[in-house]
Each structure stands twice: as C-alpha cells, then as structure tokens.
Chains A and B, each alone.
Chain A
Amino acid sequence: MSGLTWKDELGDRIPEDLGREIDIFETEIELRSQDKLDETLFAETRLRRGVYGQRYDNGQRFDGTETQQLAYPEALTKGPNTMWHAPGMQRIKIPFGGLSVEQMEVLADLGEEVSDSILHVTTRQDIQLHYVHIEDTPDMMRRLAAVGITTREACGNSVRNVTACPLAGVCNTESFDVTPYSRALARFLLGHEDMQDFGRKFKIAFSGCRHEACGLTNMHDLGALGVTRMVDGVEKRGFEVWVGGGLGAVPHQAKLFDEFVSEEELLPLAQAIGRVFARLGEKRNRARARVKFLIAKLGIEEFKRLVLEERQQLPHDDRWTSYLDDLDETDEEPLKPGQALNGADQPEGFEAWHETNVYRQRQTGHVVVTVYLPLGDLTSNQMRSLASISQRYVKDTVRLTVEQNVVLRWISEADLPALYSELKAIGLGGAAAGTIVDITACPGTDTCKLGISSSRGLAGELRRRLAERYHTLDAAVQDLRIKISGCFNSCGQHHAADIGFYGISRKINGLTVPHFQVILGGRWKDNAGSFGLPMAAVPSKNIPAVVERLAERFIGERQQAENFQDYIGRIGKREVKAILDDLAQVPTYEEDPSFYRDWGDVREYTIDDMGKGECAGEVVPLAQFELTAAEREAFEAQILLDEGDAGVAYSIACGAMVQAARALVRTQFLDVGDDAERIIEEFRTRFVDTELFFDPFAKDKFARYLFRNHEEPLTNPSAEDAHRTIEEAQLFIEGAFACYGRISDAEGTLAGS
C-alpha cells in the first residue's frame, strides 16, 4: 500500500482533461510552496479551482482580549495576506444540484478525510468543505473528477455553478424539465475560452415556473425561464431570458432580454452575452464589474443590440445544438413504481413531517421528500447514510437546493413511513422544511473572511426558539422565510426573504456591538419577485425579539388573507420602524454584557475597547449624532419611495450620503459648511485619498456610491433607481459608521451611541 497515490489508484477514471488541469494545479502548488510563483497569480489560480481562503488565514485572531498571532510554521503565503498553512474552504460545484449515490459517497469520504466531517450545502447548490489544507486539494479534486465532479470555476471571475429548480422534471407547474438545458449550458461554458476574461463572477439559473421560487431567475446575471410557444401548430420549447439581476450589496432586478429564445439559440446566446461582458464589462473596479452594472450603464436595449450583433459573428459550434439529441439523458427513472400511502402505519412525528417535507410529483404515486439540513450542514456519516437510503429508495435522483437542503425525488408514496423512520434514525428526519424554522444562512463570521456578524449563530438561535414554538405559530407565520447574511454581500439571500438580516456593527460607548440590519418586503416567490429594504439596525441580541414582535403584529393586524409583504406595505415603513425602535437600543455593558458578544461566540466582540468603554459615561460625540441623522434621512427616502415619490426619495437618499460624509469631515474640519461640492471634495481628500474610509474588503466601494450619485445625478429617476440609491445610501452610511469606529479606535477617543 505504501507509495500508492490517488492518481495511480483512480487511473483512467479521471477524465483526461480534468486530470491534466489538476496535475497543472498540483505543479503550481509546488512552485508556490517554493516561492517560485507570484502569490497574486497563485491566488487567482486557486480561486478558479474553488480553493478559497478562510477567516483567520491572515495569521491573526482576536481572542476576546487582544489580537493573537497564529504561529504557523512558515511565513509563506498562498495569496495576499493569506498564510500558506492556514486551512481554507473548498467549494465544489454541483450543477443543478444533481447528485448520484456514488458522488454522495465520495463527498462523504472527502468530508471526513480532508475536512472536519461536515459538508455544507450553499445557497447556490454547491457543497463547501471547510478547514481544508491546500496540499490536500489535488487528490481531493482527482477523487471528485473520478465521479464526474469538478471544482473548476467554483470561484474567481468565472461562470459559477449553474443552478436550477430542484423540482425540475417532477414539478406540477413547470413548462418543461429544464435539467438537461442547465446541464448542457454548464458543460458548454465550463472552461470556455470566451468566459475567461470577466471582471467579476457570472451566475446562471434555470427555472421552469414563473410564479414559484424555483431557480430565482430574477436575481441572476442570466436567468432562463422555461416557456413554450406554438410555432406552425407545433409546441416549441424556449426560454424567457433575463439578464443583469443580482443581489450583492445593492440588489438589481433582472431585465428582460428576450421573451422567447429557442432551445437551439440558448447556448450561443449565452456565449454572446459572455463575450460582450468580457469585452465591455468593468475590469478595474470590482465593485462595479458585475454584468448588472454594464447593463445599467448601456441600457438593456443597447446591451441587447450588442449581444445580438455578437451572436451573428460567432463561429458555428456544433455543441450549441448537439445536446438536443440527448435531452433524455437526464431523464430519471423511478426505482419503484408509484404507490399511494393507503393508510399505512405512520411512525411518531410522521404527520408533521409529511405536511412540510413532502411534495406530490406530477407523476402519480411519486413524491419529492425534502431532507431538512439545519444550517445547511450534514456530517459525512449522514451523507453516506443518505446515499445508502437513496440507493434503496430512489437511486440517483437526489438534488441540493438553494435553501440548503437535499431533496430525494421519485419516492414511492407508500415508502414514506419507512423512509421517514430511516431518515429519523440518522438525524435527518426534521420537519418544517420550507418554513420559518428552515432558516437560510451564509457562513458569516464562523468561517468567512468578510463576515461582520454571526449569521449562523443567529440562525441557530432563531431556529431553536422557533422550532420550540412552531406548532403554536399561526400558519401564516409558519410559512414565512427568514434569510441571513453575515455582511452586506447577500450570500444568505436576505433581500429575497420575508424577513432578512445582514450583519453590521455599531460603536456604542466606545465598544463595537454586533448588529443586524433588518430587511423587510422581499419576495421569495415569483423567482425572487421583489427585494426588501433596510428598516432598522438592531443589535444581534435583539433580533429574536424582532422576529417575535413582527410575527405577533402581523398575526394581530393582518386583514383576511393578507400576506406579510402586503402587510408591511400597508402599515408602512414608518410604523415598522416604530415597532422596532426600542429594540434598536443597546444597554450599557454594565447593564447587559451579552449585547457585546455575538451569537455562538464567547468572545467579547471587541474587548480591545473595554477600558475606554468602562469610563465612557454618556458622552455622545457630534459625529455620532450626525451619522444617525443621515441614517434617518435614508429611512425617510424609503418612506417617500413607498408613497410613490421616486424623485424626491432619490434626492433625499443622495442627500443622506452627503450628510454622512459631512459628519465624517467635521471630525477633522468642523467648519466645512453645507455646500455639497465642498463636502465631497473634503471627504475625498481627507477620507478616500488617505484610505481612512476604506473598508478592509470593499475598499472605496461605498465612497464611489457618493461620488457617482453626485457627479452623474439622475434627472428623472425611476422607482428602481430610487430603490437602488437608497440601498447605496444605507451602505455608505454603514461605511461611515464603521469608518468613524476605526478612527475612534485609532485615536483612542470615545465614540458614544
């Protein structure tokens, strides 16, 4: 056994092209380990293979008292500020979330052998492994490649995992099964030479229904919604194509590119879009490099013209249509014939589980079972057992979902009681899938370098509390969706939830307090039909009370069958803010120190400031007052937008940014005055040119919102423009709060509430 390698062991089970790429990557690892390859170049190389950095990989960790240096064996890096020996995260692309039994078993083994025995399902149907050492990645990739999985382009400025509705093919309301199309596009674009020069990532989603959540086509760079059309008396398949959607810091609703793109044209059109994006998309400023910004800049009509022009110039490629001969390759066969439940004995807990976790397929006698994964996690043993269960009940018809669960398709209804018992035995029999208990959360501060607040910690706490009370909740509350991101980057898809949260921090009496911004009004249905807006910044410890209070008010005040979005719209944001106002208050450390720690963490959030905080008294610096006023202005803009006055809302949002900039400027130059031009000039000189305003990761992104809105004001802003500008204003103000906090820390001055 000695000396045997996975490369030898797997031999020709590794596809030649993937094997070659992995060999090259292994060589690059070797070169970098000898410092013979530039660290920045290596970072992009590994990112394009899904090999990410992870929190604390800069070799530092705040232990609750002070920042400790993690004494890695060598100072070698695998990217800027990324220690070579620091464990990282491996993202594994699973196109349309489809998994076979064999793939599940390999993933389980890898979770155990190179990670921490935990597999995490992401909000884009990927699998992530954490705490992986870079030297372990080539063999891991080989083992994945041998079962048809690649990590290529799981990260970096590339086409990311192509997602699709997990019910595709068995759904009752779909136009047709989008699975083979999503697979074909994923394969076609993987490593395609036209897709290698993007300024940012490019995300694609497929959906078969307009009105369900499904593939969330409205929030993707390219969303393909399956539709049919009668042509000469024959039903033709095609796609309603949407472009330029996205969440991120400022969400954009996708724009309709074409009502009907034939199945023959789907791949070449995607290629043409990629070529235009590569050619004209922003490259230097990452904050504006997604295709949504290019479309906003050009306008959808001009973008469309350029794409269609590009399409005409594309050299023919047989792959555009060759897959159409094999559409049935992804067709699924049931392992067992569909049989009704017919009053079979039901184990304890079955009824509740059946109510929320079982979806009746359009194929009579078969159902889809959702295996609910708390926080999107399952152990290697659970994955292995799930593979075994799948083999016995359905074989290879398993998919991951964007709500971080697993679905088993083609279950014979008569098998449900036995299946439930088996799932329960391995700890995967949890009910309440797709309900308020089934909370989506990105990794946040647990493992993500960008995390500000603990999204998983909060999700875990909310889940625990809501699960205890689930059966006492009104059905309308049970059906609400909660989604949480650890920062403004929206990996938890908080904009598209009934109740969304994203992590921020605030300086209170000289101490940094973890907070979440409360986002309401988003719509998960209709493929993420609308995006919510920020309502209030609330300390993390009060977020469970926010959920409880909103739910109570909703049930107490809703009119007939009014849904949550309509309820929030009816009572208005001013009233919502009033509901939450007292929860936004933070007690002093002496009154309740728990507010100064995040959920799921025992460390003080920033105890570095403790000494100053204890003697802070009630001094409230001027800047804090002025920043709070700017935030209030941004909120007023939301109210005006709700009332239909987009123009004024837009102006006030822009003004709120100037007001926040002024607050910062006045910390250095009290007499800056009220002239916007002067304020912005001073802000640029004092805070941007000096990088004082720079977010550690977003850099000057938020400052650019201010500059752009000032330099290129919109003369007749639409409601969407106003919505976006309000989001930008909120982020700019958050940036100003954070900047003020950093300045206070550096100067050892007080930053009061």
Chain B
Amino acid sequence: MPNDLQRLNIKFYLEDETSVSPEEVFRIFNRWISEPRDEVLIDVADYTHIPNGPQTLLVGHESDYSLDNTDGRMGLRYGRKRPVDGDARQCLRAALSAALNACQRLEEAPEVEGRAQFRGAELQMSVFDRLGSPNSAQTLEALREDLLAVLSEIYGEAQISLTRDEDERQCLTVQIQAQGDFSVASMQQALAA
C-alpha cells in the first residue's frame, strides 16, 4: 500500500461546461491571489490556446488549481505539488477537501453569479507520481480501501464505482462515480463532520 501518496490531483466536473469561461476564471483566480486562504498563491497562466489542457491555471506554492479540459470535459482540478505528511487516507482526505473548497469558492464567486455548479457525484483522482504510485491494478487495489473510506465520508452509503485508466503510460487515474446527487456544500459538510 503506498503510504507516500503524493502529487494527488482531484477534479470535479462542471454541470454545464459553458457556464463559466476561462476568461472569467482568469479574473477570479487573479483575485484569489490577493485573497489567499492559508496558502501561497503566485500567478495565473492562460493556456486557452491549447483546448485540451489546463485552460486557466492558478499557480500556488503547495498546490495548483485550474479550470481544466485535459480530458475534454471542463472542470476544476486541484493538484498538490509539495509533499504532504500523513498516510494515504490523510493525503486523500486533504486533497479532496482542498478541491471541494476551491469548487465552493468558484461556485460562490460573485463574478459568475452562481452559474458555476459542480457535479458532485463524479470526480477524477490522479496521482502524478509514476514512481510512488505506478498506474497498475495493484496500485489501485492497494489504495482501494483508503480511497473508499474517504469517499464514503462524502457519499455515505451510495454505491461507488472506480474505473482506472488502463493506459500504462498515463499516471494513475481513477474515474469515480457515485449513485445519486451530491452538492459541493453537502460534501464539504460531510467531510468536515
């Protein structure tokens, strides 16, 4: 079991992919730099010239945030860069919490007037660490118990499916789908409880 689960990425998808534009998010991310919440945020990069990638990237010291379209679906990606202390469950929990906080902040951003809403029942987890967490069935199996334990905190008893990207050249990427409807706020509350 990987107890050094690092470089975790969590992505939540927008309900309506066109509800918020990269230009709007660029403006919002710039504001976030001036209003940091317990982290160092540094700069915003515009990559809208590459459609299937991070469209607008908020670069931080510990973590990055992006309006992301890497997989052809627009969402908010949180990516941890600096090492996190703790076991896999703690790392997962911290990443999920940070991603949800960012989603909530975007949903509540006055610039988008409530247009940005996230589909809570689906998320993507990636581990950008091919050495520590190679993309294999074994890695996922080793991680499954911790992952499901953390997911059950936000999804309760809902049925959860985990689908791993089997392209071995990709980093470990798991598509997570829960049965039911889940709002960002409810998942945050559940995780904080």
Please, how many angstroms separate the alpha-carbon atoms of A6 and B46 in the complex?
32
For A3, what are the chain B residues with a Cβ–Cβ distance below 8 Å?
4
Q: Is the CB of B70 within 8 A of A117?
A: yes
Q: Is the CB of A377 within 8 A of B59?
A: no
Question: Who on chain A is nearest to B28 by CB?
Answer: A602
Asked if A118 lies at the interface with its beta carbon under 8 angstroms from chain B, I say yes
Known: A4-B132, A116-B64, A382-B50. A70 touches B40 (CB 8 A): yes
Please, how many angstroms separate the alpha-carbon atoms of A109 and B168 in the complex?
12
Known: A2-B2, A56-B43, A87-B61. A63 touches B70 (CB 8 A): no
Q: Is the CB of A378 within 8 A of B42?
A: no
Please, how many angstroms separate the alpha-carbon atoms of A3 and B2 in the complex?
10
Asked if A351 lies at the interface with its beta carbon under 8 angstroms from chain B, I say no
For A457, what are the chain B residues with a Cβ–Cβ distance below 8 Å?
46
Q: Is the CB of A118 within 8 A of B3?
A: no
Interface 1/0 per residue, A94-124 and B, CB below 8 Å: 0000000000010001001100111000000
Q: Is the CB of A87 within 8 A of B46?
A: no
8 Å CB contacts to B: which residues of A355-407?
A: 374-375, 377-379, 381-382, 384
Q: Is the CB of A446 within 8 A of B45?
A: yes
Q: Is the CB of A116 within 8 A of B52?
A: no
For A460, what are the chain B residues with a Cβ–Cβ distance below 8 Å?
46, 48-49
Known: A113-B7, A377-B47, A463-B49. A603 touches B30 (CB 8 A): yes
Contact of B34 among A63, A86, A131 (CB under 8 A): A63
Asked if B57 lies at the interface with its beta carbon under 8 angstroms from chain A, I say yes
Q: Is the CB of B27 within 8 A of A602?
A: yes
Asked if B114 lies at the interface with its beta carbon under 8 angstroms from chain A, I say no
Q: Is the CB of B34 within 8 A of A377?
A: no
For A670, what are the chain B residues with a Cβ–Cβ distance below 8 Å?
none
Known: A116-B57, A374-B49, A375-B49. A68 touches B34 (CB 8 A): yes
8 Å CB contacts to A: which residues of B124-160?
A: 128-134, 139
Question: Who on chain B is nearest to A384 by CB?
Answer: B169
For A116, what are the chain B residues with a Cβ–Cβ distance below 8 Å?
45, 54, 57, 59, 64
Question: Who on chain A is nearest to B81 by CB?
Answer: A133
Q: Is the CB of B54 within 8 A of A118?
A: yes
Q: Is the CB of A427 within 8 A of B52?
A: yes
8 Å CB contacts to B: which residues of A695-744?
A: none
8 Å CB contacts to A: which residues of B11-57?
A: 26-27, 30, 33-34, 36, 40, 42-43, 45-54, 57
Please, how many angstroms separate the alpha-carbon atoms of A379 and B33 in the complex?
24
CB distance from B138 to the nearest CB of A (A): 9
For A1, what are the chain B residues with a Cβ–Cβ distance below 8 Å?
2, 4, 131-134, 139
8 Å CB contacts to A: which residues of B60-119?
A: 61, 64, 70, 81-82
Chain A's interface size range is 35 or more
Asked if B171 lies at the interface with its beta carbon under 8 angstroms from chain A, I say yes
Contact of B40 among A9, A71, A131, A379 (CB under 8 A): A71
Please, how many angstroms separate the alpha-carbon atoms of A65 and B30 in the complex?
12
Most interface-central of A56, A71, A72, A131 (chain B CB within 10 A): A131
Q: Is the CB of B49 within 8 A of A61?
A: no
For B81, what are the chain A residues with a Cβ–Cβ distance below 8 Å?
133
CB distance from B144 to the nearest CB of A (A): 15
Contact of A55 among B33, B40, B43, B47 (CB under 8 A): B43
Q: Is the CB of A133 within 8 A of B82?
A: yes
Asked if A85 lies at the interface with its beta carbon under 8 angstroms from chain B, I say yes
Please, how many angstroms separate the alpha-carbon atoms of A701 and B47 in the complex?
35
Please, how many angstroms separate the alpha-carbon atoms of A6 and B57 in the complex?
28
Q: Is the CB of B132 within 8 A of A379?
A: no
CB distance from A511 to the nearest CB of B (A): 19
Known: A87-B59, A603-B30. A4 touches B53 (CB 8 A): no
Q: Is the CB of A112 within 8 A of B128?
A: yes
Asked if A64 lies at the interface with its beta carbon under 8 angstroms from chain B, I say yes
For A85, what are the chain B residues with a Cβ–Cβ distance below 8 Å?
40, 61
For B3, what are the chain A residues with a Cβ–Cβ distance below 8 Å?
2
Q: Which 7 A-B pairs have the closest CB atoms?
A: A379-B53, A374-B49, A63-B34, A113-B128, A602-B27, A131-B59, A427-B52
- Contacts A2-B3, A133-B82 known; 6 new A-B pairs at CB < 8 A: A3-B4, A86-B42, A113-B130, A116-B57, A116-B59, A381-B70
A-B CB contact pairs (8 Å), 8 listed: A63-B30, A68-B34, A73-B61, A113-B171, A118-B45, A377-B49, A379-B52, A379-B53
